[in-house]
Amino acid sequence: MDTLLTAEVYANSPRFRRRSSVFVDAIHDMPETQELAPAQLYSTESGRLFHSGRIVIATVGLPARGKTHISVAVARYLRWLGVKTHVFHLGDYRRSTVGPGKDVPDDYFFVNASPSSVLLRNKILKKCREDILNFLEHENGQVAIYDAVNPRAGGRQAIAKEFAKHKIETLFIESSCDDQRIIEENVRSVKISSPDYIGWNDMDAVRDYLARINARIPDFESMHEKDLHWVKIVNGGDQVIVNNCKFGYLSQRIVFYLLNLHIKSRQTYFARAGTTTEEESYKADAHLSEEGREYAKKMSETLFEHRKKERQAIIDRGGPDNALKPLTIWTSTRKRTVETAFDLADMGYRVRQRTQLSQLHPGDLEKMSEQDILDKFPEEVKKHAQDPYHHRYPRAESYHDLAVRLEPIILELEREQNDLLIIAHESVLRVLYGYLMACNATDIPKLDFPRNEIIEIIPSSYSNLAKRIKIRSLPEHIVPNSPDIIPLSAVPSISVSSFTNGDEITSGSATPSASGASQGSSQGASETPIVGKGAMVSTSVGSGGLGAVADADEISLPPAAQAEQDLESDPLPVREKVAINPTAQS
């Protein structure tokens, strides 16, 4: 169950494509063919949407401006909409070409580099661009994101010209930043966890890193080319300049998304609402029960303690004592979620109610028991088992409906600069988690959020990581996922290979029921099989492996694994990556 990737796997994989792992979201995995994405409205034979043609998005900007973050975020959003998108990080090609532990020559980024450096540069660029073209021409790809520095106007013209020969439009996205605080924060949060800086004080490391960048890339030119398509994001979105971008629906939609994106790092937490006095009734909109209030209190305390510890850890490393973002809380307008936030509101946190966060509407299943549903809608139950993501019970919403209606929430989620706790119904958490962790649509209805865990999503530059924070000493019976409106376990005769729903209802453990390894991956045979596919935490080990990890207060990546995630993007020396196998610890 060695599922985290190592340097060797990167280097040996035929297309240098990144892979997700059990804790890391699936944004670098290619989705299964022909499967509809979570918020996809329709599909086409060509696999391409909106008559928008094929687009290369090329990033422009100095290191620590959030280029990789923007690349991955745009890919996440486009994939969510069903646009076949892949990110090509030039840094991956650079590292795999020069070999582990080595670095490119000092003059690699210079305009007047030595012939050998130019040769090396061209070799790396060529390999990356061949892969991009292959993706767009032979794999039905629609958007390829080319994550690189692209510092010179001449080089950018050449890229656009080269892709234009293949009838591919090139859209440049520059992240330009003259606000020193934003740059330093970015360096601190994503760059200096490198082994190079072990034992350094945070601020010293930041200064050292920035000095090296300036020495390495002295000839950067901001975008000004009138004839190219580009978007310039100034200081993380204070101002956005859009040049000559009216060439298609997708380009405009990307700009819309970028208007909501910022480049600062912040955490998202998910928590369930407490139990109510009238659990079964959707329409009743009941108050929290005594137990529900107890849960709300414990959840709030757990989160508060957790954040206190995180803050102390940053200070201990020499970081600023305001490094933790303020916390904002979103609830739905339903009483159970609003009341679950009461304790946090009393602690002085800002709570906002969002109507769009209402749970999946149960329609005619309101107040029905599993047996009633089976008796009354046997056909619907069967249909539901075949496609739990898209199927709607009579008068009910499907997960797909929910994903489409959450669009404004998703953009506001990107827009939010504070740390964010979302208290909502499990159905809503499933969809939002599915977005942040790039889950397959089919996995989303199966994600499990037991009440005794707060989920924390931590952005790192290449992908999001998920952690579970345990809430201790809750009564056993309120822990399992809520009585779901989809009683699949009550269906005896249906067997669909990829899920075993008995577990979902009865497990009650910290083990999520998401498909994980049982799904496996149907990628090409030459590629390493992936486990997880963005599921919460791989479950292939059942309660054994994970149970052991879950004994800890938190399940988190060992620091070295974080470093592996964080280190990739920039032209600074990178140590050989370490293979990490989380379950090996148990």
Partner 1 sequence: MYRRTNTPNPPAAFFDNSNPEGERLRRAAASAAVDDMVKWFKNENSTIAILDATNSTKMRRQWIKERCDAERIETLFVESLCNDKSLVMANIVEVKTTSPDYVGQDPEAAAKDFLDRIRKYEEVYEPLEASENLTFIKIVDVGAQVIINAIRDYIQSRMVYYLMNLHIRPRSIWLSRHGESEFNLSGQIGGDANLSHRGQLYARTLPNLVQESAGDRKLTVWTSTLKRTIQTARFLPFEKLEWKALDELDSGVCDGLTYGEIEAQYPADFRARDEDKYNYRYLGGESYRDVVTRLEPIIMELERSENIIIVTHQAVIRCIYAYFMNMAQEKSPWMEVPLHTLIRLTPGPYKTDEQRWKANIPAVSTWRGKGSAAKHQESPLGTPGTELPEPVMKANAT
What is the set of active-site residues? 147
Residue the block writes with tokens 């004592």: 321
CB atoms within 10 A of CB 436: 23
Binding residue for partner 1 (CB under 8 A) from 12, 244, 312, 585?
Answer: 244
Q: In 3D, which of 503, 398, 402 has the Cα closest to residue 450?
A: 503
What does each C-alpha distance from 141 to 54, 106, 170, 412 come to in angstroms?
Answer: 8, 35, 14, 28
Per-residue interface string for the shown chain with partner 1, residues 566-585, x marking contact by CB under 8 A: --------------------
Q: How far is the CB of 239 from partner 1 (least distance, A)?
A: 5
Binding residue for partner 1 (CB under 8 A) from 294, 392, 572, 583?
Answer: 392
Does residue 378 interact with partner 1 by CB under 8 A?
Answer: no
- Footprint on residues 415-454 left by partner 1 (CB under 8 A): 415
Q: How many residues bind partner 1 (CB under 8 A)?
A: 31
Q: In 3D, which of 67, 405, 52 has the Cα closest to residue 261?
A: 67
What does each C-alpha distance from 209 to 137, 179, 205, 216 come to in angstroms?
Answer: 39, 16, 6, 11
Does residue 242 interact with partner 1 by CB under 8 A?
Answer: yes
Does residue 167 interact with partner 1 by CB under 8 A?
Answer: no
CB atoms within 10 A of CB 489: 15
Q: What is the DSSP string of 131-186?
A: HHHHHHHHS---EEEEES----HHHHHHHHHHHHTTTEEEEEEEEE---HHHHHHH
Backbone torsions φ then ψ of 239, nearest 5 degrees: -135, 145
What is the rounded distance in angstroms from the CA atom of residue 396 to the CA atom of residue 575? Answer: 53
Which residues, 6 or more positions from 361, have their beta carbon under 8 angstroms from its beta carbon? 282, 395, 396, 397
Q: How far is the CB of 423 from partner 1 (least distance, A)?
A: 20
Q: How far is the CB of 11 from partner 1 (least distance, A)?
A: 40
350, β-bridge pairs = 328
Q: What is the DSSP string of 39-89?
A: T-----SSS--TT--EEEEEEE--TTSSHHHHHHHHHHHHHHTT--EEEEE
Does residue 51 interact with partner 1 by CB under 8 A?
Answer: yes
Nearest CB to partner 1, comparing residues 406 and 455: 406
Per-residue interface string for the shown chain with partner 1, residues 124-143, x marking contact by CB under 8 A: --------------------
- Region binding partner 1 by CB under 8 A among candidate stretches 28-36, 45-53, 210-218, 567-575: 45-53
Nearest CB to partner 1, comparing residues 138 and 246: 246
What does each C-alpha distance from 143 to 29, 55, 74, 290, 331 come to in angstroms?
Answer: 14, 5, 10, 51, 34
Q: ∠ at Cα 329 (361, 534), nearest 5°?
A: 65
Q: How far is the CB of 433 from partner 1 (least distance, A)?
A: 20
- Region binding partner 1 by CB under 8 A among candidate stretches 47-55, 276-284, 418-426, 567-575: 47-55
What is the rounded distance in angstroms from the CA atom of residue 58 to the CA atom of residue 168? Answer: 12
- Helix 67-80 and helix 426-436, axial crossing angle in degrees, nearest 10: 130
Binding residue for partner 1 (CB under 8 A) from 253, 293, 298, 382?
Answer: 253
85, β-bridge pairs = 143
Nearest CB to partner 1, comparing residues 394 and 559: 394
Q: How far is the CB of 471 from partner 1 (least distance, A)?
A: 31
CB atoms within 10 A of CB 353: 14
Per-residue interface string for the shown chain with partner 1, residues 475-514, x marking contact by CB under 8 A: ----------------------------------------
Nearest CB to partner 1, comparing residues 214 and 244: 244
Residue the block writes with tokens 């924060």: 185
Q: How far is the CB of 83 from partner 1 (least distance, A)?
A: 11
What separation, in Å, do the N-terminal and C-terminal C-alpha atoms of the chain show? 12
Q: How far is the CB of 246 from partner 1 (least distance, A)?
A: 5
- Region binding partner 1 by CB under 8 A among candidate stretches 8-16, 286-294, 337-345, 410-418: 410-418
Strand ranges across the sheet with 453-459: 350-353, 327-331, 419-423, 268-271, 453-459, 464-470, 554-555
Nearest CB to partner 1, comparing residues 143 and 458: 143
| AA letter at 207 | R
Are the beta carbons of 403 and 431 closer than 8 angstroms?
yes
Does residue 255 interact with partner 1 by CB under 8 A?
Answer: yes
Q: ∠ at Cα 102 (97, 106), nearest 5°?
A: 95
- Region binding partner 1 by CB under 8 A among candidate stretches 82-90, 245-253, 316-324, 510-518: 245-253
- Footprint on residues 179-208 left by partner 1 (CB under 8 A): none
Q: How far is the CB of 395 from partner 1 (least distance, A)?
A: 8
What does each C-alpha distance from 155 to 30, 120, 221 come to in angstroms?
Answer: 29, 16, 11
Binding residue for partner 1 (CB under 8 A) from 9, 153, 245, 496?
Answer: 245
Binding residue for partner 1 (CB under 8 A) from 2, 50, 366, 542?
Answer: 50
Binding residue for partner 1 (CB under 8 A) from 12, 122, 134, 239?
Answer: 239
- Region binding partner 1 by CB under 8 A among candidate stretches 129-137, 231-239, 285-293, 482-490: 231-239
Per-residue interface string for the shown chain with partner 1, residues 256-275, x marking contact by CB under 8 A: x--xx---------------
Binding residue for partner 1 (CB under 8 A) from 211, 240, 494, 584?
Answer: 240
Q: What is the DSSP string of 337-391?
A: HHHHTHHHHHTT-EEEE-GGGPPPP-GGGTT--HHHHHHH-HHHHHHHHH-TTT-
Nearest CB to partner 1, comparing residues 158 and 241: 241
Does residue 43 interact with partner 1 by CB under 8 A?
Answer: yes
Which residues, 6 or more positions from 230, have their beta carbon under 8 angstroms from its beta carbon? 60, 171, 172, 173, 174, 223, 242, 243, 244, 245
Nearest CB to partner 1, comparing residues 45 and 346: 45
Q: How far is the CB of 18 from partner 1 (least distance, A)?
A: 29
Nearest CB to partner 1, comparing residues 42 and 321: 42
Nearest CB to partner 1, comparing residues 81 and 465: 81
- Footprint on residues 282-321 left by partner 1 (CB under 8 A): none
Does residue 252 interact with partner 1 by CB under 8 A?
Answer: yes
Binding interface with partner 1 (CB under 8 A): 41-44, 49-51, 237-246, 249, 252-253, 255-256, 259-260, 392, 394, 404, 408, 411-412, 415
